[in-house]
Amino acid sequence: MSIAAKFEIEYLQYLDAEGQQVRDALPEFAKNLEHMVELYKLMISTRVFDAKSVAMQRTGKLGTYASCLGHEAAHVGIGSAMKPEDVLALSYREYGAQLYRGVQPREVYMYWGGDERGNDYQNEPARHDFAWSVPIGTQCLHAAGSALAFKIRNEPRVAVCCIGDGGSSKGDFYGAINIAGAQNLPLVAVIVNNQWAISVPRKIQSGAPTLAQKGLAAGLYCIQVDGNDIIAVRKAMEDALERARSGQGGSVIEAVTYRLSDHTTADDARRYRDEAEVKEAWAKEPVKRLRAWLVAKGVWDDAREEAWKAECDEWMDNEVNAYLQTRSQPVTAMFDYTYAEVPADLAKQRDYALSLESK
Amino acid sequence: MAQITLIEAVTQALAYEMAHDDSVVVLGEDVGVNGGVFRATVGLQEKFGPLRVLDTPLDETTIAGVTVGLATQGMKPVAEAQFEGFIYPMMEQIACHAARMRTRTRGRLTVPAVFRAPWGGGIRAPEHHSEANEHLFTNIPGLRVVLPSSPARAYGLLLAAIRDPDPVVFFEPKRIYRQYKEEVPDDGEALPLDVCFVLRDGTDVTLVTWGAQVKECLEAADALAEEGISAEVIDVATLTPLDFDTIAESVTKTGRCVIVHEAPKTAGFGAEIAARLAEECLYELLAPVERVTGYDVHIPLFRLEMKYLPSVQRVVDAAKRTLAVS
């Protein structure tokens, strides 16, 4: 038998569920414990932020909200590996990556609170990132297009897209990795496989044993990592970003994690999945293992944890207040950004809508 | 000065803008070495290289989504859908992102892109190659829908479309791609978007149309003139945002209106114009508004397609019906 091509998919993990180091050689960034503490702190603040968001939805202060509970290592790992000049195109729950890149919690609240200004991120580098993409998978092609722009202009920048296990079934995802392979684009596609696309489990999305291997068909570098292990996510991201930046092409990273929350606040996951499965997933969640590792290294303890959580609470309360005090946009806002200039015909509708305001 | 066809005017506009603006790129299927299946991009890859004139993988969704990505990063992409009938996979990216990006980010990100597509029937093409579906796009806010009807307007409007800060769907009536030539100076002068062009002045009836049907309407006006009927012909050119004032002014003058388009009748863009006339010009009308359109069927394969497309005779008959009402 002759073989036309042969492939394998590496699986990467540094920390197991208990926070035990399963590989001896740590990547450079992980040797900097101060930095690892910073990443841990952001995972905590992401979780505090997320709990606050869900609570606000439950009390009628937010619309439907998509929680990121359980994804903290994957998202912070993605965001922290990127350079400021890179571009992030995400779906709608990657807050850990976004907070790292300067998105303010009040902006997230505004978006899910029904105000487009939440997409107008004020801080760099998030300011040049894409806004949340609700139509599943479509953002992958925006990242591919951005990567093409970087290649055309010969800029050492990388476009990163995040997608879920369900999203990796979409043609937009396949199209993005396909053109990235064909044109050798600086694209890193991260499949954050949280096992559930609303009520549909991972095994119904694809017969492939890994989702990472989808990238093989496109000619990309592929790896599967423990998505609850931030060291593994960050390392895979750094490698993929470096490859892309140095002209060696795109990558697909599958970060295997678990959606500990409902799909959104409008969903009730108890309808379709076993409590036992969720309980098992909680045992592998990302925050606990990193804490155990940092505590063992002597750079973290309960007192610091309590102090930081208190700081996060204060931060989020501040953000919540800022959000709640934001006045609605004037009715004219819906007209004013539809085109660069309001066309004459649309201006008449704008005038009419405005006239209703004074009645 | 050279006389050129409509398709050559498209090429001339692309070449001009690419030479004067490094951010302009062309992408699509077969746009590179082959110069496009209609030769709209012929010679461009030789001049501007394989990255600025990019042969994409054969996936319309990819073309549209990559176009959105390029445009948000400071490029001005001109994407080609090889035929209008193949544009459907692009619609999600156009409606959900290209046309929506500015408003959903409050102007932080924008999509100054052009989506070109050879449009309409009448060239004895295979199935799915003859669609006219501009009305599916005119209901999408944030988008411009533009149809040129002559070499000069193809050149001037395409330049304007590329320079426009918002996304433009640019439908090229392929039936008249090579129908006639005219002088089109390669001077980089754009024509205005968002305005109708009055191509022929008249006093008795207004013929409102766009794309390839401009030809039928001008011929109908000639035929009507022989019978002493004076028809004004308006090329709408930019369907949305609509310059209704020009149409209203004309219909106020003539009191009669025939709207001509080759897309199906029901909920075609002619319905919008008729509704606006009813809302704003009812008391100026001397006769019911007439529509001469494709039927509410899929455009048939080419043995029957000319029976589907509006003919000069149908336009003349409709104009006369409006005049029969005193």
Q: What are the domain boundaries of chain A?
A: 10-328, 331-359
| pLDDT > 70? residue B72 | yes
Q: According to the model, what pLDDT value does residue A109 have?
A: 97
| pLDDT > 80? residue B27 | yes
Determine whether B173 is exposed, middle or buried from the number of CB atoms within 10 Å of its CB (0-12, 13-18, 19+).
buried
Q: Is A272 a catalytic residue?
A: yes
Interface probe, candidates B73, B145, B273, chain A, greatest A C-beta count within 10 A: B73
Cβ partners under 8 Å of residue A280, min gap 6: none
Walk me through the domains of chain B, giving residue ranges and CATH numbers: 3-183 (3.40.50.970), 197-324 (3.40.50.920)
Q: According to the model, what pLDDT value does residue A358 have?
A: 85
Amino acid of residue B208: V
- Nearest chain B CA: its distance from A180 CA (Å): 10
Over its length of 359 residues, how does chain A's per-residue pLDDT go in tens digits?
999 999 999 999 999 999 999 998 999 999 999 999 999 999 999 999 999 999 999 999 999 999 999 999 999 999 999 999 999 999 999 999 999 999 999 999 999 999 999 999 999 999 999 999 999 999 999 999 999 999 999 999 999 999 999 999 999 999 999 999 999 999 999 999 999 999 999 999 999 999 999 999 999 999 999 999 999 999 999 999 999 999 999 999 999 999 999 999 999 999 999 999 999 999 999 999 999 999 999 999 999 999 999 999 999 999 999 999 999 999 999 999 999 999 999 999 999 999 999 87
Q: According to the model, what pLDDT value does residue B1 have?
A: 66
Kindly state whether A339 is in contact with chain B, defined as any CB-CB distance less than 8 angstroms. Answer: yes
Asked if B108 and A119 come within 8 Å (Cβ–Cβ), the reply is: yes
ipTM of the complex: 0.97
Summarize the confidence of residues B60-70 as an average pLDDT: 98
pLDDT digits (tens, 9 = 90+) for B102-126: 999 999 999 999 999 999 999 999 9
Asked if A148 and B142 come within 8 Å (Cβ–Cβ), the reply is: no
Asked if A141 and B165 come within 8 Å (Cβ–Cβ), the reply is: no
Taking domain A10-328, whether its CATH number is 3.40.50.970 is answered by yes
From the candidates A47, A93, A106, A263, which is the catalytic residue? A263
Asked if A142 and B72 come within 8 Å (Cβ–Cβ), the reply is: yes
- Residues of A whose CB is below 8 A from B72: 130, 142, 145-146
Q: According to the model, what pLDDT value does residue B2 have?
A: 84
* Cα gap B316→B273, rounded to integer Å: 19
- Nearest chain A CA: its distance from B292 CA (Å): 25
| pLDDT > 70? residue B326 | no
Summarize the confidence of residues B310-323 as an average pLDDT: 98
| pLDDT > 90? residue B246 | yes
Q: According to the model, what pLDDT value does residue B211 have?
A: 97
* Percent of chain B at pLDDT exceeding 70: 99
* Percent of chain B at pLDDT exceeding 90: 98
Kindly state whether A138 is in contact with chain B, defined as any CB-CB distance less than 8 angstroms. Answer: yes
| pLDDT > 90? residue B292 | yes
| pLDDT > 70? residue B235 | yes
Q: Is A263 a catalytic residue?
A: yes
Contacts within 8 Å (CB) and 24+ apart, A111-116: A112/A53, A112/A57, A112/A62, A112/A63, A112/A64, A112/A65, A112/A66, A113/A61, A113/A62, A113/A63, A113/A323, A114/A63, A115/A326, A115/A328, A115/A329, A116/A329, A116/A333, A116/A337, A116/B103, A116/B104, A116/B105, A116/B106
With cut-offs at 50, 70 and 90, classify the pLDDT of residue B208: very high
pLDDT digits (tens, 9 = 90+) for B144-170: 999 999 999 999 999 999 999 999 999
Residue of B nearest to A347 (CA): B241
User: A residues 152-171 near B, CB within 8 Å?
Assistant: 152, 159, 171
Q: According to the model, what pLDDT value does residue A83 have?
A: 98
